[in-house]
Chains A and B, each alone.
Chain A
Amino acid sequence: MKVLIVDDEPDIRRIAKLGLSRVGGMEVVEAANGAEALVRAKEDKPDAVLLDVMMPGLDGPSTLARLREDPATAGIPVVFLTAKAIAAELERLKVLGAAGVLTKPFDPMTLARELRALLGIS
């Protein structure tokens, strides 16, 4: 299973990658911003995208919308990873068409399990 991690914070990318790969045994590709994410998604064809919400430039929801616009990436499930914790905002993110929302701070030891659960992969 290949996961694209999109986050402007390298530390977060690093930790999430370790959690998903070492604990969850997943293949991980990274993108540092929305624009890069669009390229990686198209080229690397990940099975899922773990997408940060607040990023400079193209933010999470916009990136999601762009992914949906491109038939090549429209079908890739997206899970938001956000530091926001306001329930109404989380609801709004779900409404945008994401498969789920995970909040920061996350536990890298359980990240892969939670991601699988949201994607309905056992």
Chain B
Amino acid sequence: MKAARVPDRERERLQALRDAEILDTPPEADFDALTRIAAAVCGTPIALVSLLDADRQWFKSRVGLAETETPRSDSFSSHAILEPDLLEVPDAQADERFADNPHVVGRPHVRFYAGTPLRTADGHVLGSLCVIDHVPRSLTPEQRSALRDLGQQATAQIELRRTVSELRRAIGERESAEAALRRALHSAVPPAPLAAPTTGTRPGLLALAALMVPLALTLAGAQLQPSWEPRLVLAGGVLGSLIIFGLVWSLADARRGALERAEQITGALRASEQRVRSVMDTVADAIVTFGRDAKVQSANPAAEWLFGRRLADLIGRDIGDLIPGMVPAPSGQVEAEAARADGSTVPVDMAVTPAAGGDTFVASVRDVSERRAAEQALRQSEQRTRSILDNMLGGLITIDAAATIESANPAAEAIFGYERGELVGRALTALVPEAVGDRAAYLRTAFARAIGRITEWRGQRQSGEEFPFELSMFEFTGGGEGRHFAGSVRDVSERHAVEKLKGEFISTVSHELRTPLASIRGSLSLLAGGILGDLSDEAREMVTIAERNCVRLIGLVNDILDIERLEQGRLHMEMAEVAMADVLARTRDAVQAFAAERQVAVEMEPTAAAVQGDDGRLVQVLVNLVSNAVKFSPAGATVRVLVRERGGRVRVEVTDRGRGVPASHRAAIFERFRQVESSDARDKGGTGLGLAICKAIVDQHGGEIGVESEVGQGSTFWFEIPSAPAADRFLEMFRAADGRPDVILADHDATLLGVLVRQLVGDGVRVRVAFDAAEAEQAVRESAPRLLVVDLGLPEGEGRSLLDHLRADERLSLLPLLVYSAQDVDERRQPMLGLGPTRFLTKSRVTDVEVRAVVSQMLGAEAREGRP
């Protein structure tokens, strides 16, 4: 027996065989079909697909043979693979290579052998497809050709398997690469925009070696494309032909299926490749892959843009050049700086993900300079706000819906006497004096009234000291869940002290200035009156000048005191129904002498109008306006006073033919010490306060004052105040039940009611009025007020009986009560008049401000007792 020589490139051949991953695999129908066809075509009892391993031949498919493998050394196949074409042994016993071969001598008693090499595209012969007979014979040319074709089919099957397996591997790698890319993109780019970041002049080349599978694609493309239609030459009879045709058909079918699978797979790969490519090309984030050696392997267009380098300049560059301090190891998501070619740096967020089994890293790099700039701006804005809050003198406290302090600026902490940060988390009630009783109820009342306006409350410092503060509240959004309120807080204890001082000062000035003025004025008056003997003409003239200026000085002192009190709302007004005819008459009396002296006529049209007001103060206003008109009229002119009633208001107009008031001065002249010309004070007399006082008085009447004028033609000064019937209509609005009122005011004096209602409503108090005891009782029973304010002077002792009725009703006997009467109530009688918490005020002894304060206090007290 002659052993076959070892083929050339045996190592590579064995590697190719192992790569085919076919050795020791289970039988497969595709190969079995081939051996059956071969046996049928050649008419032999045995057909084999023999694969030649290092020391054995292993049969992938076999017909007519039990063994699965035999030693390589005595195999026919080891000879067959050396042949360029077909090895045909017509009679093995006559062939010196095989005569003593165990397979010839013994089972399976080979006499005839024909084998065709299974040669791959690379030229490696993996084994053979062979037919064996027990008798000597030879193949016809057609049979040889068929055997060759079948051998090629077998080879194709083997290579197909290898292709599929490589494709699978490629897909696996591809999927892991895609997953790595996705991870990289997702970690650095939450919602990655796919729009192209800039115009497309940058090269779109993308070399992502780690993500590609070029070999698999080459195989799939080059070797699966050609069509391998079987070129079978049929031998034998019709039956044999049919059998062979059927077998060949099924084989072709099987192969077609495998091809389609392969094509699907390659299609999917291409689509995936396409997807990755388009994502990489259009994604706004720079994506760079680099190997363990830190050299850049690929980069996308965004990377070229970010680093300011062309692709060619990026590839092979050390990643440390691009991201200084970057080491080739996955480090999750980090903030870093990207170094651009021009030497500048860009702040970036970077995520590094390993891919391709850890040999490659995908770095996803996002330019965050805009975001950083925005963050910086936000930080600066926050700092600015914080700085303002920290340095402002007003306190600012924010609280949640449960009145827990969420924040407090230093001013607020200082106001309440706390250290930095001590207020946060405390209940707001800590800032309310213990003396108010139920602090929470006090706060609720405070909040309700302080929303959107400034109100005054009592607070408590950490030391326990009580003090007055101003509070205005507003609800704000953006504070997170739930409702949030901010309170602006101002300590007004100092202001109160100053106001008190100012009041004392005014009182002192009032006394200390008036006393010497009284002496001067009195002395001059006596001198000028000639009581103390005749004076020379010049002396009398001088005394007259002195007296006139003294009177002016007194007027100034009076005006200053008046306006101070007016502006503090402390000027007492006796509101009543006033006939305007009366006001006009008194004004005429007051200005007549002065007008006559100036040779100016004053014409007043008769009027029947009546207003709600203080007659003395209204005369003061009109005297002021008419005196001014006279003062600025030329001799011989006429000043006209006209009263008109219109729409529930009375308008009084004083028209002169004076020089007029320039438009630029028209608003200012109602301010203090503002005259059209500074010389007016000297030339025309007057203090510069008259119009300011007029305005203050008209304001307190709920009216308006103004001037219409044409320079050189004269002026019309006017004021408008509510007419008397309008005041009644006004009260009517508060007579009917409208929800639950805070206060029921029972008084038969509509004038006083009108004033009080206006003021309390202005304070945010809900008011209902009653004009007699019966109405008051009905109102109390109907609407369960929080406070009853009653005038005991209701006709015929009605006030007293009203209280008796209410006391008899258990439900109403504890109603808070404010007795507000014209007469002092004897202290001994007071206990008999009380209901619940009761206070007594005498109308002439208290100012409006005090009444309002008491009402507000009692409402607060009622709230903290939590009574209905």
Contact = CB atoms under 8 A, between A and B. Distances in A.
Interface of A: 9, 11-12, 15-16, 18-19, 22-23, 54, 83-88, 91-92, 95, 103-109
Contacts of A12: 515, 518-519, 522
A11 B518 CA distance: 9
Nearest to A108: B522
Given A23-B531, A84-B511, A109-B529, A16 B522 contact: yes
Chain A contact residues: helix, strand, loop or mixed: helix
A105 B571 contact: no
9 contacts: A83-B511, A86-B507, A86-B510, A91-B844, A105-B517, A105-B522, A107-B525, A108-B529, A109-B529
A105 B558 CA distance: 10
Contacts of B511: 54, 83-84
B462 interface: no
A104 B516 CA distance: 10
A22 B525 CA distance: 13
Nearest to B616: A87
Contact of B519 (A9, A85, A88): A9
Interface in B833-851: 844-845, 847
Nearest to B506: A86
Nearest to B561: A85
Contacts of B522: 12, 15-16, 18-19, 105-108
Nearest to A87: B572
B631 to A, nearest CB: 22
Contacts of A91: 572, 844
A33 to B, nearest CB: 15
Contact of B507 (A16, A84, A103): A84
A105 B847 CA distance: 26
Given A19-B526, A88-B847, A83 B510 contact: yes
B518 A104 contact: yes
A54 B514 CA distance: 12
User: Which of B517, B526, B561 has the most chain A CB within a 10 Å cutoff?
Assistant: B526
Interface string B43-66: 000000000000000000000000
8 nearest CB pairs, A to B: A15-B522, A105-B518, A83-B514, A104-B518, A11-B519, A87-B572, A83-B511, A105-B521
A75 to B, nearest CB: 23
Given A95-B844, A106-B522, A23 B529 contact: yes
B845 A92 contact: yes
Nearest to B614: A87
B219 interface: no
Interface of B: 507, 510-511, 514-515, 517-523, 525-526, 529, 531-532, 554, 558, 561, 565, 570-572, 844-845, 847
A85 B561 CA distance: 8
B274 to A, nearest CB: 95
A103 to B, nearest CB: 8
A88 B850 CA distance: 12
A46 B228 CA distance: 152
B287 to A, nearest CB: 86
Given A84-B507, A92-B845, A109 B572 contact: no
Nearest to A9: B515
Contacts of B521: 105, 107
A85 B572 contact: no
Given A11-B519, A104-B518, A85 B558 contact: yes
A45 B484 CA distance: 75
Contacts of A85: 510, 514, 558, 561
A122 B519 CA distance: 27
Given A15-B523, A108-B525, 7 more contacts: A12-B519, A15-B522, A16-B522, A87-B571, A104-B515, A105-B517, A109-B526
B82 to A, nearest CB: 137
A95 B843 CA distance: 12
- Residue from the set A83, A84, A106 with the largest chain B CB neighbour count within 10 Å: A83
Contacts of B844: 91-92, 95
With most chain B CB atoms within 10 A of its CB, the pick from A9, A18, A23, A54 is A18
A5 to B, nearest CB: 12
Contact of A109 (B515, B517, B525, B571): B525
A102 to B, nearest CB: 11
Contacts of A106: 518, 522
A11 B521 CA distance: 11
Given A85-B558, A91-B572, A108 B526 contact: yes
Contacts of B507: 84, 86
Contact of B531 (A9, A18, A83, A103): A18
Contacts of A107: 521-522, 525
Contacts of B514: 83, 85, 103-105
Nearest to A23: B531
A116 B518 CA distance: 20
A92 to B, nearest CB: 7
A99 B704 CA distance: 37
A19 B531 CA distance: 9
